[in-house]
């Protein structure tokens, strides 16, 4: 079996002054994922290695990490895909822009606080007439919204964004993409409220279209697209047409 | 309020531009920022040079003579390229804000780069006698 040199960033805030890399050698085959190597390390080499994982099938969002400087969902990324044919090293580090709890586990509270801040749910006006049976929505609209509803809140986009890194208040791609998903939902009455919320200097206007979020999203959400649409909606509202 | 002093660093400090994984969009942003700074500095120096015309004919002629030297002609060609990149990438971004071209962002970036280089080279060729 082939072997790969794995460099894992270790950090125990209660014991270590600084994060530091630790080297391991792990065997792998074509199908081995990055998460598999971490599990193997924890099982057979160093039981103190800490990381989050759950579904191992790309839906729970627990296991994103920076692998060779790029955010990846480790259960869905193969070792071979990252290190290439000539076998480079595999460097695994936790997500950026979030406080590290231990080793590869980060505190996602700031991420979820921002997510909650945009009211990620349908808002119904008291005056809205509820339909007798169901809310009807066109096929196109449903398909369009599905893309932005596919977010698994893994935090990869948040970690990849240099604006998030340099501005504590920026809402971040995931929260803004979700705001778009609801602002564009015909069942939602909170459009104006949401557009006002995201339309300030800590919201959509902080986005410089760097596109890192779109590149790393494991579910193809394209947050950059959503944010630009929010900009467009915001300007149209302020100019009085739409 | 944004506070740069209290930034949340990545675990490995200084890696928020992810040195091992820089993508097209990041490059476009960095180039835009750098060309923007260059253009700001250029604009100020340009105003000083042109402003000599308010002083006297001699001062203005001296200023023009100074910036007519070959090194400045070369820099002017570079400036043409920089303006082209900044303008085209700026249009690319304005397009995004209007919802246009987001899914073609890489292609649009390369068009801006190619045209900027072309303008730079064309300017050099056009001004070759002055060099």
pLDDT tens, B50-106? 999 999 999 999 999 999 899 999 999 999 999 999 999 999 999 999 888 999 999
* Structure-model confidence comparison of residues B13 and A139, the more confident one: A139
Q: Which residues of B touch A94 (CB under 8 A)?
A: 11
Predicted confidence (pLDDT) per residue in A171-199, tens digit: 999 999 999 999 999 999 999 999 999 99
Percent of chain A topping pLDDT 70: 98
B25·A228 Cβ contact <8 A: no
The pLDDT score that the predictor gives to residue B20 is 79
Q: Hey, is the C-beta of B26 within 8 angstroms of any chain A C-beta? A: yes
Q: Hey, is the C-beta of B5 within 8 angstroms of any chain A C-beta? A: no
The pLDDT score that the predictor gives to residue B18 is 83
**CA–CA distance, A57 with A41 (Å, rounded to integer):** 20
Q: What pLDDT band is residue A223 in, cutting at 50, 70 and 90?
A: very high
* Structure-model confidence comparison of residues B85 and A200, the more confident one: B85
The pLDDT score that the predictor gives to residue B42 is 96
Percent of chain B topping pLDDT 70: 89
Average pLDDT, chain A: 93
CA-nearest of A153, A17, A160 to A93 is: A160
Residues with Cβ within 8 Å of B121's Cβ and at least 6 positions away in sequence, in order, are none
B11·A96 Cβ contact <8 A: yes
Q: What pLDDT band is residue A238 in, cutting at 50, 70 and 90?
A: confident
Q: Which residues of A touch B15 (CB under 8 A)?
A: 69, 96
The pLDDT score that the predictor gives to residue A91 is 94
Q: Is residue A135 scored above 70 in pLDDT?
A: yes
Q: Which residues of B touch A110 (CB under 8 A)?
A: 8
**CA–CA distance, A204 with A199 (Å, rounded to integer):** 6
The C-alpha of A57 sits at a distance from chain B's nearest C-alpha, in angstroms, of 24
The pLDDT score that the predictor gives to residue A242 is 65
Q: Hey, is the C-beta of A93 within 8 angstroms of any chain B C-beta? A: yes
The pLDDT score that the predictor gives to residue B1 is 36
Contact A115, A171 (CB under 8 A): no
Query: Judged by CB atoms within 8 Å, which residues 99-118 of A form the interface with B?
Result: 99-100, 110
Predicted confidence (pLDDT) per residue in A96-131, tens digit: 999 889 999 999 999 999 999 999 999 988 888 888
CATH topology for the B24-130 domain: 3 helical TM bundles of succinate and fumarate reductases (1.20.1300)
Long-range contacts of B113-120 (CB under 8 A, 24+ apart): B113/B31, B113/B85, B115/B84, B115/B85, B115/B88, B116/B81, B116/B82, B116/B84, B116/B85, B116/B88, B117/B81, B119/B80, B119/B81, B119/B84, B120/B77, B120/B78, B120/B80, B120/B81, B120/B84
From the list B11, B26, B29, which residue is nearest A100 (CB)? B11
> Which chain B residue has the Cα nearest residue A82?
B21
The pLDDT score that the predictor gives to residue B13 is 65
Q: Which residues of B touch A201 (CB under 8 A)?
A: 2
Query: Judged by CB atoms within 8 Å, which residues 33-92 of B form the interface with A?
Result: none
Q: Is residue A86 scored above 70 in pLDDT?
A: no
Interface test with A, best of B102, B106, B107, B108 (most A CBs within 10 A): B102
Q: What pLDDT band is residue B9 in, cutting at 50, 70 and 90?
A: low
Q: What pLDDT band is residue B7 in, cutting at 50, 70 and 90?
A: very low
Q: Hey, is the C-beta of A98 within 8 angstroms of any chain B C-beta? A: yes
pTM for the predicted model, two decimal places = 0.90
Q: What pLDDT band is residue B5 in, cutting at 50, 70 and 90?
A: very low
The C-alpha of B23 sits at a distance from chain A's nearest C-alpha, in angstroms, of 7
Predicted confidence (pLDDT) per residue in A33-63, tens digit: 999 999 999 999 999 999 999 999 999 999 9
């Amino acid at each position: 079996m082939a072997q790969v040199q794995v460099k894992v960033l270790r950090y125990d805030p209660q014991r270590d002054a600084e994060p530091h890399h630790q080297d391991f050698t792990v065997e792998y085959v074509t199908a081995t994922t990055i998460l598999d190597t971490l599990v193997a390390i924890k099982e057979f080499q160093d039981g103190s290695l800490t990381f989050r994982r759950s579904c191992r099938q790309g839906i729970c969002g627990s296991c994103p990490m920076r692998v060779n400087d790029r955010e990846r969902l480790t259960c869905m990324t193969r070792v071979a895909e990252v290190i290439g044919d000539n076998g480079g090293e595999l460097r695994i580090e936790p997500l950026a822009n979030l406080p590290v709890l231990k080793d590869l586990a980060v505190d996602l509270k700031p991420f979820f606080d921002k997510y909650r801040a945009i009211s990620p749910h349908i808002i119904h006006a008291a005056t809205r007439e509820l339909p007798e049976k169901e809310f009807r929505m066109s096929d196109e609209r449903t398909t369009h919204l599905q893309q932005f509803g596919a977010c698994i809140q893994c935090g990869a986009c948040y970690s990849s964004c240099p604006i998030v890194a340099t501005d504590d208040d920026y809402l971040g791609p995931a929260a803004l993409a979700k705001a778009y998903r609801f602002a564009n939902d015909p069942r939602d009455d909170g459009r104006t409220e949401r557009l006002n919320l995201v339309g300030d200097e800590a919201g959509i206007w902080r986005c410089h279209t760097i596109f890192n979020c779109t590149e790393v999203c494991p579910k193809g959400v394209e947050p950059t697209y959503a944010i630009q649409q929010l900009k467009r909606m915001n300007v149209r509202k302020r100019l009085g047409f739409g | 309020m944004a506070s740069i002093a209290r930034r949340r660093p990545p675990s490995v400090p200084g890696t928020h531009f992810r040195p091992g994984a820089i993508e097209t969009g990041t490059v476009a942003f960095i180039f835009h920022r750098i060309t923007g700074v260059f253009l700001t500095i250029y604009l100020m120096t340009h105003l000083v040079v042109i402003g000599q015309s308010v002083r006297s004919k001699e001062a203005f002629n001296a200023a023009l003579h100074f910036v007519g030297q070959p090194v400045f002609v070369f820099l002017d060609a570079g400036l043409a390229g920089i303006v082209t990149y900044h303008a085209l990438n700026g249009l690319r971004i304005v397009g995004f804000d209007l919802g246009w071209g987001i899914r073609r962002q890489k292609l649009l970036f390369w068009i801006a780069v190619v045209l900027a280089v072309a303008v730079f080279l064309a300017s050099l060729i056009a001004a070759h006698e002055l060099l």
